[in-house]
Amino acid sequence: MTVRILIADDHAAFRSGLGSILDTDPEFECIAEVADGHEAVAETIRLRPDLAILDVRMPRLDGLAATSAIKAAGLTVVRIMMLTTYDSDDYLHRALTAGVQGFVLKSLPPEELIAAVKAASRGDAYVDPAVVRRLTPRIAGAIAPTDVTTPDLPPGMARLTAREREVFLLLAEGSTNQEIATTLYIGDETVKTHVSRILMKLDLRDRVHAVRYAYRHGIVRADAGD
């Protein structure tokens, strides 16, 4: 099935370049390119694409506000991926809160961008690993895998085993299952089992919600310095 995509970005050259990258994959069809948030909302309502790729910073209405407007219009079937040049904790936090399907940097290599778009179009959550990995020191400082009695630990974390807390740490860091397996010297299938149990125990839908959980409970602080 072809994935119908709308692109919203105020830089014409970038819109064209992104469209060209996506057009190299037969699964994608770019049905519209717009230059600001107001146009993004109007065309999304009119065309009902499968996926809207929105720049965070646009004139008239930014991507975050446009996302809220699209959601308010009841277009729950339209998945939204946020695209940005700025590696900002605040943008990531607001995007996750708004319910976007993906959050990626414009510097993401073309092949990884295509993979991210495919993931978002399937309904799988995707956060650019470069964004999430930067949060590692804050996450590491907040989760002690051997200590379940830490007062600041969210209640749900106490339900995780020591190994599951280690996997959660790497999950929140943006590691893939293969990277987790390599780091912890365990098998891929074992990692999948741990991830499934973590999401179930914490009542989380997917990896993006795991990052959101870390924000909400102070494991990651959006206002913390680097």
Question: Domain residues of the chain, as ranges?
Answer: 3-128, 136-216
Residue with tokens 């219009």: 73
119: tokens are 């993931």
Is the pLDDT confidence value at 117 over 50?
Answer: yes
In CATH terms, are 3-128 and 136-216 the same topology? no
The CATH number, out of the four listed (3.40.50.2300, 3.50.40.10, 3.30.1330.60, 3.40.190.10), of the domain defined by the range 3-128: 3.40.50.2300
Cβ-contact 195, 168 below 8 angstroms? no
Is the pLDDT confidence value at 183 over 90?
Answer: no
Length of the chain, in residues: 226
Q: Name the residue with higher pLDDT: 225 or 171.
A: 171
* CATH number of the domain located at residue range(s) 136-216 in this protein: 1.10.10.10
What average pLDDT score do residues 189-194 get? Answer: 88
Cβ-contact 82, 117 below 8 angstroms? no
Average pLDDT, the chain: 81
The stretches of the chain forming alpha helices (DSSP H) are 12-23, 37-47, 63-72, 89-98, 110-122, 129-133, 136-142, 162-173, 177-184, 188-201, 207-216
What average pLDDT score do residues 180-187 get? Answer: 86
Helix, strand or coil for residue 96?
Answer: helix
The whole-model pTM stands at: 0.66
**pLDDT confidence tier of residue 39, bands split at 50, 70 and 90:** very high
Sheet holding 126-127, edge to edge: 28-34, 3-8, 51-55, 79-84, 102-105, 126-127
Query: How far is Cα 167 from Cα 160, in angstroms, rounded to an integer?
Result: 10
